[in-house]
């Protein structure tokens, strides 16, 4: 018996748009994107899925969305916006999946999912390529550009969106913790891809810490550029920002102790993490030699090498070093609140470095 193997590569193309106040009456981007889908019913049928956490932060959003579609005769909402629970709980909403699937069968509709990663993932799973994603957190605006694998309860589907619309106005609703969590994802990407991008985050750290919108827009845009130029992980990821920051600190410190990363680059990384407000609190449950903690290793900022063996003594030393750095930074922050320290700082115009000294 003879057998031949056929390989089929299917290219996916979609646009990532950047805008401000998507549902403003003066903003025509969404209408133009839907109209560009080609043939369809007139008016175009639309179903909106809304993250409940976002709605709690913007109570007038449902009315704003309904008003937007009411004033556009070419578009028609087939139902009021569906509000679902955000974060991981959303994946247990089987009724939602059935509703979206039935709506797609009844109408030739375009689903618009507005929210964080979990809501976007579930809506993408239910509606496949009929979806327009409107991510509302920093991390989801970064990840939505490349996330094509969507899974719920062990089931998955490869389904790129029709388009991604990044609306920077939604970022104002984020807590400080979620704001920082997005920055550290960008920092992680810069460390392995682009030293110049790392330097730009370094320069913009005070403005980012003060929640200035323009440097955040530039940060997200550059992340999306890097993802599109060299796609990596194509799944949505729900990660705790503090945990990612601590992981970066451990990875970088291990790379330095292993003789790969120059000390001055380690200092830049740790100082930036601390300047962005992360505590670098290493949990007591860290397991020595656990796969994935310190791989890949940094040879320099923007350059990585793969590590196949983790040396437990170096990892233990990395944990000690990061803990000492975090403790020093905490004590420094406490001192900074005292009048005596402020007077001394004003006199010297300098502060001790919150990072390990060179060996």
DSSP for 154-210? TEEEE---SEEEEEGGGGGGS-HHHHHHHHHHHHHHHHHH-HHHHHHHHHHHHHHHT
According to the model, what pLDDT value does residue 38 have? Answer: 65
Return the higher-pLDDT residue of 105 and 317: 317
Q: Which two tokens stand for residue 189?
A: 């990407």
Among 239, 147, 157, 230, residue whose Cα is nearest residue 190: 230
**Does 67 sit behind a cis peptide bond, omega within 30 degrees of 0 on the bond before it?**
no
Average the pLDDT over each of 8-22, 64-78, 256-270, 336-350 and give the range with the smallest value. 336-350
Average the pLDDT over each of 75-79, 185-189, 229-233 and give the range with the smallest value. 229-233
Domain 15-173 grouped into CATH 3.40.50.720: no
Q: Where are the domains of the chain?
A: 15-173, 242-359
**What is the 8-class DSSP label of residue 357?**
P
> Could you give the CA distance from residue 165 to residue 112 in angstroms, rounded to a whole number?
10
Residue 236 pLDDT grade (very low, low, confident, very high; cuts 50, 70, 90): very low
Among 350, 351, 346, 347, residue whose Cα is nearest residue 332: 351
Residue 215 pLDDT grade (very low, low, confident, very high; cuts 50, 70, 90): very high
* Cα 115 from chain centre: 12
Does pLDDT of 245 surpass 50? yes
Q: In residues, how long is the chain?
A: 359
Number of CB atoms found within 10 A of residue 71's CB: 10
CA separation, residue 12 to residues 9, 15, 146, 147, 148 (Å): 10, 10, 11, 12, 9
According to the model, what pLDDT value does residue 125 have? Answer: 73
Mean pLDDT of the chain: 81
According to the model, what pLDDT value does residue 351 have? Answer: 45
Average pLDDT (223-248) is 74
Residue 334 pLDDT grade (very low, low, confident, very high; cuts 50, 70, 90): low
Average pLDDT (67-73) is 93
Residues near 266 by beta carbon (within 8 Å), at least 6 away in sequence: 252, 253, 255, 256, 355, 356
> Could you give the CA distance from residue 263 to residue 255 in angstroms, rounded to a whole number?
10
Asked if 161 contacts 129 with a C-beta cutoff of 8 angstroms, the reply is yes
Biggest distance spanned by C-alpha atoms of the chain: 87
According to the model, what pLDDT value does residue 353 have? Answer: 46
According to the model, what pLDDT value does residue 201 have? Answer: 96
User: pLDDT tens digits, residue range 96-138?
Assistant: 666 666 655 555 778 899 998 888 887 777 776 578 999 999 9
Return the higher-pLDDT residue of 295 and 220: 220
Residue 10 pLDDT grade (very low, low, confident, very high; cuts 50, 70, 90): low
Does pLDDT of 281 surpass 90? no
Return the higher-pLDDT residue of 162 and 23: 23
Average pLDDT (216-225) is 95
Which residues is 77 bridged to in the sheet?
46
Number of H helices, E strands in the chain: 13, 11
Average the pLDDT over each of 81-85, 130-134, 163-167, 242-246 and give the range with the smallest value. 81-85
Average pLDDT (153-181) is 85
DSSP 238-283: ---HHHHHHHHHHHHHHHHHTT-S-HHHHHHHHHHHHHTT------
Residue 83 pLDDT grade (very low, low, confident, very high; cuts 50, 70, 90): confident
Residue 343 pLDDT grade (very low, low, confident, very high; cuts 50, 70, 90): low
pTM (two decimals): 0.81
Residues near 264 by beta carbon (within 8 Å), at least 6 away in sequence: none
Q: Which helix (H) or strand (E) holds 165?
A: strand 163-167
């Amino acid at each position: 018996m003879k057998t031949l193997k056929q390989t089929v590569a299917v290219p996916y193309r979609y646009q990532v748009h950047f805008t401000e106040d998507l549902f403003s009456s003066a903003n025509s981007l969404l209408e133009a994107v839907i109209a560009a889908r080609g043939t369809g019913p007139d008016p175009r049928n639309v179903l909106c899925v809304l993250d409940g956490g976002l709605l709690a932060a913007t109570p007038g959003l449902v009315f704003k969305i309904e008003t937007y579609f009411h004033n556009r005769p070419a578009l028609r909402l087939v139902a009021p916006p569906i509000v679902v629970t955000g974060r991981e709980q959303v994946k247990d909403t089987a009724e939602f999946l059935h509703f979206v699937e039935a709506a797609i069968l009844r109408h030739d509709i375009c689903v618009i999912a507005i929210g964080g990663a979990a809501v976007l993932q579930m809506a993408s799973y239910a509606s496949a390529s009929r979806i327009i994603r409107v991510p509302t957190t920093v991390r989801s605006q970064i990840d939505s550009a490349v996330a094509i694998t969507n899974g719920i309860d062990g089931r998955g589907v490869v389904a790129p969106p029709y388009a991604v619309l990044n609306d920077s106005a939604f970022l104002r609703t984020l807590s400080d913790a979620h704001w920082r969590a997005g920055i550290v994802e960008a920092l992680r990407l810069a460390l392995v891809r682009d030293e110049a991008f790392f330097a730009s985050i370094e320069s913009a750290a005070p403005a980012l810490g003060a929640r200035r919108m323009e440097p955040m827009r530039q940060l997200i845009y550059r992340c999306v550029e890097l993802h599109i130029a060299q796609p990596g992980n194509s799944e949505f990821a729900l990660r705790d920002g503090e945990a990612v920051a601590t992981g970066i600190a451990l990875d970088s410190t291990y790379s330095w102790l292993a003789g790969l990363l120059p000390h001055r680059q380690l200092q830049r990384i740790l100082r930036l993490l601390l300047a962005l407000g992360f505590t670098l609190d290493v949990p007591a449950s860290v397991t020595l030699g656990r796969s994935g903690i310190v791989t890949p290793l940094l040879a320099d900022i923007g350059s990585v090498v793969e590590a196949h063996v983790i040396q437990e003594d170096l990892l233990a030393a990395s944990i000690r070093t990061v803990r000492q750095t975090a403790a020093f930074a905490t004590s420094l922050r406490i001192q900074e609140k005292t009048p005596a320290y402020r007077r001394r700082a004003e006199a010297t115009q300098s502060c001790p470095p919150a990072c390990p000294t060179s060996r």
